[in-house]
Amino acid sequence: MQTWPAVKPGRPTAADVQAESAALSRITWYAIIQIAGVAGGVVTYLLFLPGFFSRFPITSGGTASASDVASWLQGLLSYLVVVIVVLFAIGLIAVFLLLSAFRRLSRLDSPNFSTPATLTILLLVGIVVAGIGLIPLFWMLSALLSNIVQNPTTYTLAGGQVADLDAAVALVAIGGILSIIGVIGGEILGLWRVGTRYDSTLIKVAAIFIIIPYLNWVGPILLLVGALEAKNKLGPRSSS
């Protein structure tokens, strides 16, 4: 029995129900990928970072040489590059699924979902632009630290290196701004309207939790449960 507000007069057609089901399936997978990303981050933190930080080069006198600290930081940056690449890949897949869901819903309810769909594209662009800047930035910082380790007293930045660093930082800033707009106007607004459409408080709460530290770990779980409940309301004609 359908409980969402009908956009078209009369009962929804089988094609409409299938479109709704396909959209909710993509939201479900979006939530699953987000949960997997959070779980992977926690596991990585527990298994790797404590041991890594325990190797911070402190001598018995409570001091460490600049070259030792630079070498340690270089290793940390190399690790972060790998983590960032994985997180960006996961993020792109998840946001693409969400975009696909909003596009399907916009065909049935354009006034509510066309704007979130458009701004979710902006989120995708922002992630790509930030990644283009952030990954080279970390590599450049790692190379910089390597040069400092080899020449701790004489190494200076060349003009070209400063320009490259500035360009990378600018890309990260631009990508960050685009991502913030996309998260608020695409991800959050779109999921809130999904919750409204299917009368799901869980989905609405999940949409709000996206931007709240620590609670954003709980949000994907609430979204998964809410999306599955909404899909069950579609009836036996639905299919993904």
- Render 153-221 in DSSP notation, one character per residue: TT----HHHHHHHHHHHHHHHHHHHHHHHHIIIIIIHHHHHHHHHTT-HHHHHHHHHTTSTTHHHHHHH
Residue 70 within a domain: yes
Please give the Cα distance from 123 to 99 (Å, whole number): 10
Q: What is the pLDDT along the chain (240 residues), one digit of tens a residue?
A: 444 444 444 466 778 888 899 999 999 999 999 999 888 878 877 777 776 666 666 655 556 666 666 677 777 777 777 878 888 888 899 999 999 999 999 999 999 999 999 999 999 999 999 988 888 887 777 777 766 666 655 556 665 677 888 898 999 999 999 999 999 999 999 999 999 999 999 999 999 998 888 888 899 999 999 999 999 888 654 544
Residue 183 within a domain: yes
Give the structural domain span for 192.
14-57+64-232
Helix pair 189-197, 201-209: axis angle to 10 deg: 170
Please give the Cα distance from 148 to 145 (Å, whole number): 5
Residue 127 within a domain: yes
Residue 2 within a domain: no
15: Cβ contacts below 8 Å, ≥ 6 apart = none
Number of domains composing the chain: 1
Please give the Cα distance from 123 to 94 (Å, whole number): 11
Residue 6 within a domain: no
Please give the Cα distance from 100 to 92 (Å, whole number): 12
Residue 4 within a domain: no
192 neighbors 172 (Cβ within 8 angstroms): no
Residue 133 C-beta-side C-alpha neighbours within 13 Å: 18
> What is the pLDDT, as a whole number, of residue 193?
96
Question: Chain centroid to CA 34: how far?
Answer: 8
State whether residue 90 is helix, strand or coil: helix
User: And the tokens for 27?
Assistant: 């939201």
Residue 9 within a domain: no
Residue 40 within a domain: yes
Please give the Cα distance from 144 to 129 (Å, whole number): 23
Predicted TM-score (pTM) above 0.85: no
